Structure formats: structure tokens, C-alpha cells
């Protein structure tokens, strides 16, 4: 089946620094990718929809200047957490849809755990 890969799996950074998380579709092209955030013992909350070649669409309450999303190619979307603070510590998960495969299935990455000290 289709595979979505995230990198890094774990990242620890100092407060005030920026961190980039990559989401790649390994064997299919994804015109749209989705970024979710998951707090401990909570559900996934959609942060933004990333569209290849255009600006991302952010959910209400998500700061677009803090969470920069770039979808420069059909297989790669990046999420950059700028000027990270401890409250940004979370599990970030991306997903992509294999539209060409016509399965209607969203494939999820393994997630990236961010810890801001």
C-alpha cells in the first residue's frame, strides 16, 4: 500500500529555535497533504491542509506565521515550527491521499514528536 514517511521521528530543540518536519509520499503523488497535531491522550486535531503549489489552508486558531507549511512538490510537504516554545511540544502527524489510486484512503505518516525545552 501507499506509504507516507515523516522525518524526523523525534526532535528536541531549545525554546526560540525553529524546527522543520518533512512529510513525504513515497510511492504516490499527493496534491494535498494534511497536518494534524495530537496532544497527549487526545485526538488528532487538523492544523492545516497543504496544497501543492499554493498556500496552505489553516484551521481556525492555528497561527500560520508560527506553523509554516510548504508543499513544493507532489511528494513533499514541510511543516516548520518557528520560534518554538514549550507549549508547541506535541506529536505532529501528516497524511496524504492517494487520489490516483482511487481508494479514498488517507495514509498517515509515523508522526514526529517535538519536545521544546
Positions that interact with other proteins (CB under 8 A): 4, 6, 32, 34, 41-44, 46, 49, 91, 93, 95, 97, 99, 104-111, 113
Q: For residues 74 and 106, which CB has a smaller minimum distance to other proteins in the complex?
A: 106
Least gap, CB of 83 to other proteins (angstroms): 26
Least gap, CB of 99 to other proteins (angstroms): 6
Q: For residues 10 and 87, which CB has a smaller minimum distance to other proteins in the complex?
A: 10
Least gap, CB of 42 to other proteins (angstroms): 7
Q: For residues 9 and 15, which CB has a smaller minimum distance to other proteins in the complex?
A: 9
Longest dimension (CA), the chain: 42
Q: Say how far apart CA 105 and CA 57 lie, in whole Å.
A: 20
- Compute the Cα dihedral for 114, 35, 76, 57 and give only its sign: negative
Q: Say how far apart CA 79 and CA 112 lie, in whole Å.
A: 11
Q: Which of 34, 42, 18, 112 shows the shortest CA–CA distance to 77?
A: 34
Least gap, CB of 16 to other proteins (angstroms): 26
Q: Say how far apart CA 79 and CA 37 lie, in whole Å.
A: 11
Amino acid at each position: 500500500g501507499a506509504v507516507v514517511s515523516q522525518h524526523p521521528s523525534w526532535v528536541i530543540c531549545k525554546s526560540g529555535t525553529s524546527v522543520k518536519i518533512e512529510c513525504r509520499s513515497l510511492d504516490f503523488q499527493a496534491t494535498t497533504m494534511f497536518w494534524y497535531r495530537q496532544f497527549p491522550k487526545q485526538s488528532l486535531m487538523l492544523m492545516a491542509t497543504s496544497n501543492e503549489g499554493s498556500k496552505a489552508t489553516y484551521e481556525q486558531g492555528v497561527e500560520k506565521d508560527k506553523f509554516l507549511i510548504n508543499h513544493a512538490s507532489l511528494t513533499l510537504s514541510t511543516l516548520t515550527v518557528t520560534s518554538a516554545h514549550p507549549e508547541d511540544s506535541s506529536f505532529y502527524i501528516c497524511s496524504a491521499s492517494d487520489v490516483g489510486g482511487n481508494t479514498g484512503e488517507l495514509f498517515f505518516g509515523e508522526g514526529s514528536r517535538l519536545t521544546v525545552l
